[in-house]
Structure 1
């Protein structure tokens, strides 16, 4: 098999595993609140503990590099998918508090380690030119899986009254089956460049780290507070929220590959600038919106802009040393999850005083992200990782001087 044939096959492997991962996680997330209340008798305290425990493996994603001392990345990816599926399949059978925590952590270990390794494999296997499009297609695969999960759960509960344990089992078993099939059906792909087997943090990647951290903070504003606004202020029911997520994923299946092509054509700086300009408007609008329909529209637009974040990984692909991909994928996942602990706690206290303040702070964070995005070079590369501030100031002074020269008439 030549390189031209192998690359699309590797991309299909990643696409299928992403579908498998999202299938289980979407089912787990959709059923979580109802299962926790109706079967596990959880209150807000236990749910908070469970969500905190779920984020712990994200913090530990940097340990991926140590696992790779004994496992190939491709093997690790399939194993992580299987662990995710097993954790979800067992969830419905163990509604007791500590058992529920245990299955959640098991599921989360598979989930976070898979997406860490997936990021590394995309950056290694896919060419620079195809990276944005491939990331867009993988995002669409996750949306396809979520739609399938939503449909099966709705039919299972509304028409057949299937118990939660069997829905969890079905989703988890489907994920495990896809993992086994991918293990058997695809060849073992080789890496063009051997990867570092130790942690790597380089000063010249600072802009990538900063963008990754801010992306994690933005994710928490959407997941925690935008959804809570829908319920608390506008009285959206669980089915209303599910319908919004279904709309989001339907749109994403169409939009994500096209956003990938946009990034490929117009560059990472343009894509990220559009995302953060849009977020400034959306977060500011969240602060003052009084119409449920307008709020729902903002929620959909907010989710749509998520796909623009593929430009961060595309940017890193262009600036990074090839042997840094695996280690940096783990480090960046950990950086992304720092906000998962800080933002909900700190902003939750602010929320008690003012809903609007939370979203206005989110708009300020988006403005900071926009400033970072403008530091991304128009044509990133190993020698052009960030636009120096001095260069931008110099360019501005040249532009002002040129403009002034045009306004001053020539002397007679």
Structure 2
């Protein structure tokens, strides 16, 4: 513990302020992860098909990240971070206190979503900036682990409030999430000019064929991600009757495990390379799909739900892979933003298609279809060159020796 405190005391003040901002924004994410699906179910009585279609507007700001990043390109990334926190705070407060109708709820959801999605670029760019050479995966893993640690507080708050707040659970939860977001904006502001990273080269848009595998990895992840963010918890809530308290407990366990898991994942990326780690993620995804499609054993489904949450750490490998192949560091912000946009181009359409598939053939068909994504993900992962492959060596020919 003393060594940890000593390391914290010696850390870059700008990095400490950034990490604290990540922590408070992570509390917001933990609250929403634990409560949002139950909030929709209890407040608006959505069907599975309606829940699928709702993902289109919820993910639309993610599709717009490339354009939002273009508008903010001339500003330091620190100011991007402040903007994301304030947008998130306003949106979440609106969900809790000014959502008497479904349509108005969507307006507040769009603001919350815009802030959350833009922060994906901020987190990656700042994480790479604060990393030492050869330790990019480790640094991103630390930041991701801090997010998970914060999510424990958010999910734990929902779990505790669920026992005493009754019908007011969502107001209390979203109020706490909004306050946490405001505090995160304050911490990002404290980074000061020493923590500013002007959007490199003020580039608004970058598209290079050299980055094709990075683009494809994001497209596949966008489809895979939304199936599990939307339908895995929806199966647990509507098919197996999971309560807000249980969903919060699962989110709490996933976050607690993620504190260690994501740091270990980042360190392994540095050690063995992105190719092997992304391939492992694809194999695990196939197993998770098979479990949700063919098993009704609740403890197994709870375990798979947690495991899939942990494997979202694969984003670390995608980011470090891009960092290895970029022609210029000025390409990072616009390329990561384009990756988020491509991810969400699929995120907006897949849930609606999944909702139709569920309505026609049942929820198992959704996860059977998702297993095909794991195969595509595996082939893409094996196609990338992360610099860790051993070059093929031709057998040495021994010279003939005279008799």
Q: TM (normalized to structure 1)?
A: 0.83
Matched, 1:15 2:22: no
Match of 2:111 in 1: 106
Matches within 5 A, 1:145-164: 145-159=150-164, 164=170
8 Å CA contact 1:125, 1:191 repeated in 2: no
Matched, 1:373 2:381: yes
Distance across 2 between alignment mates of 1:370 and 1:163: 41
Matches within 5 A, 1:364-403: 364-379=372-387
Distance across 1 between alignment mates of 2:44 and 2:371: 37
Secondary structure (helix, strand or coil) at the match of 2:64 reads helix
8 Å CA contact 2:52, 2:355 repeated in 1: no
Matched, 1:121 2:126: yes
User: What's the offset of the Cα at 1:69?
Assistant: 4.2
User: What's the offset of the Cα at 1:185?
Assistant: 5.1
Q: TM (normalized to structure 2)?
A: 0.84
**Structure 2 CA distance for partners of 1:369 and 1:36, relative to 1, 3 Å:** closer
Matched, 1:339 2:346: yes
Distance across 1 between alignment mates of 2:161 and 2:362: 40
Distance across 2 between alignment mates of 1:177 and 1:280: 39
Secondary structure (helix, strand or coil) at the match of 1:105 reads helix
Deviation track 1:351-370 (CA, whole Å, cap 9, x = no partner) reads 33154433232222111111
User: What's the offset of the Cα at 1:256?
Assistant: 0.9
**Structure 2 CA distance for partners of 1:7 and 1:367, relative to 1, 3 Å:** farther
Distance across 1 between alignment mates of 2:157 and 2:199: 42
Match of 2:6 in 1: none
Deviation track 1:141-185 (CA, whole Å, cap 9, x = no partner) reads 221222111222233342365653343223212220231133135
Deviation track 1:256-277 (CA, whole Å, cap 9, x = no partner) reads 1111111111111111111112
Matched, 1:84 2:92: no
Match of 2:245 in 1: 239
**Structure 2 CA distance for partners of 1:156 and 1:136, relative to 1, 3 Å:** same
Match of 2:75 in 1: 71
Q: With CA pairs under 8 Å and 6+ residues apart, which has the higher RCO, 1 or 2?
A: 2
Distance across 2 between alignment mates of 1:172 and 1:144: 18
Q: Which runs of 5 or more residues in structure 2 are unaligned? A: 1-8, 396-403
Matched, 1:141 2:149: no
Q: 315-324 vs 18-27, which deviates more? A: 18-27
8 Å CA contact 1:157, 1:163 repeated in 2: yes
Matched, 1:177 2:183: yes
User: What's the offset of the Cα at 1:325?
Assistant: 0.9
Secondary structure (helix, strand or coil) at the match of 2:97 reads coil
8 Å CA contact 1:68, 1:197 repeated in 2: no
8 Å CA contact 1:196, 1:326 repeated in 2: no
Aligned match of 1:26 in 10, 27, 30?
30
**Structure 2 CA distance for partners of 1:31 and 1:229, relative to 1, 3 Å:** closer
**Structure 2 CA distance for partners of 1:170 and 1:355, relative to 1, 3 Å:** closer
* Poorly superposed stretches of 4+, deviation over 6 Å: none
Match of 2:366 in 1: 358
Aligned match of 1:303 in 300, 309, 318?
309
8 Å CA contact 1:147, 1:249 repeated in 2: yes
**Structure 2 CA distance for partners of 1:228 and 1:183, relative to 1, 3 Å:** same
Match of 1:53 in 2: 57
Match of 1:294 in 2: 300
Distance across 1 between alignment mates of 2:52 and 2:217: 27
Matches within 5 A, 1:169-208: 169-184=175-190, 186-191=192-197, 194-208=200-214
Deviation track 1:361-390 (CA, whole Å, cap 9, x = no partner) reads 22221111111111122417xxxxxx9xxx
Q: Which runs of 5 or more residues in structure 1 are unaligned? A: 381-386, 403-412
Match of 2:336 in 1: 329
